[in-house]
Amino acid sequence: MRKTNLVFLALLPFTLGCPETEVNQRPIQVDPLDQVKAACIEVNPQRINFDDVDITNEETQSSKRVAISNTCEGQLTIEKIQLTGQDINVFKFSNLEKVLLGESEVTSFEVTFTPPVAGEYKARLEISSNDENNPTVGVRLDGAALSPVIEVTPESYDYGAPYIGCEAEMSVKIRNVGNTDLVVSGVEVFSAADQEYSLDLDPLTNGSLPFVVAPYDKSRGEPVVDIWLDYL
């Protein structure tokens, strides 16, 4: 018997690898409802001036309000409010009415300026939120306090030991180093031996009491009120 060997050839198709960019894939559809909507913060005003607060009166503070609104569809979250700058101790702010704002919602808080002495004060109010494009918004704070400030020189004086019957003179200078008029209503000498001192208010030069002393101008070196205290 003749043996017959049968050979079966498996023909495999020759394929080329295709780059991924050529693979026909269906694009992923994102439901717009699944997207996080943005929140947008708006602060008004962005600068507050507390002008000419007269601290000589009983009302020694001034208050103004800051409004925060959300101008986009997403929910706005107010995360933090803080004061920065050199004069943060003279400014204070109240609690927010609410910290979560929907579209077009508004909240507000009060900023108070309480200066201790005359002068100009500056600080910055920083408001942080979940607004991705504008996460921190600043409000500039400027304050000016009015008050007279008396300066008397010298604060002490030694007459030495003059001979009996010889007067020793001493000039007392009064200046106003504040920023509004100073009113000097009276001058008195307190001593265990009042008869040994003579007070001269120089009415010919200064006029009569009360003295009204304008703020001191360093460039002109005036006004200065000179009175005399002599040791007899």
Give the model confidence (pLDDT) of 37-78 as tens digits: 899 999 999 999 998 898 887 768 899 999 999 999 999 999
Query: Cα 41–143–218 angle (5° rounding)?
Result: 150
Pairing of strands 47-54, 100-101: unpaired
State how far the Cα of 222 lies from the Cα of 179, in Å rounded to an integer: 14
Q: Does position 18 have pLDDT exceeding 70, yes or no?
A: no
Note the pLDDT of residue 168.
Answer: 86
Comparing 196 with 130, which gets the higher pLDDT? 130
192 burial type by CB count under 10 A (0-12 exposed, 13-18 middle, 19+ buried): exposed
Tokens of 226: 């000179």
Q: How far out from the chain centre does Cα 155 lie? A: 34
- CB burial string 39-78: b at 16+ within 10 A, e below: bbbbbeeeebebeebebeeeeeebeeebebbbebebbbeb
Note the pLDDT of residue 35.
Answer: 60
Where in 30-96 does DSSP place strands (E)? 41-44, 47-54, 62-70, 76-84, 91-93
State how far the Cα of 141 lies from the Cα of 126, in Å rounded to an integer: 11
Q: DSSP 3-state assignment of 35?
A: coil
Comparing 165 with 18, which gets the higher pLDDT? 165
Pairing of strands 47-54, 136-146: parallel
Number of C-beta neighbours around residue 97 at 10 A: 10
Number of C-beta neighbours around residue 205 at 10 A: 9
The predicted model scores a pTM of 0.67
pLDDT band at 3 (very low <50, low <70, confident <90, very high): low
State how far the Cα of 111 lies from the Cα of 93, in Å rounded to an integer: 4
Q: DSSP 3-state assignment of 194?
A: helix
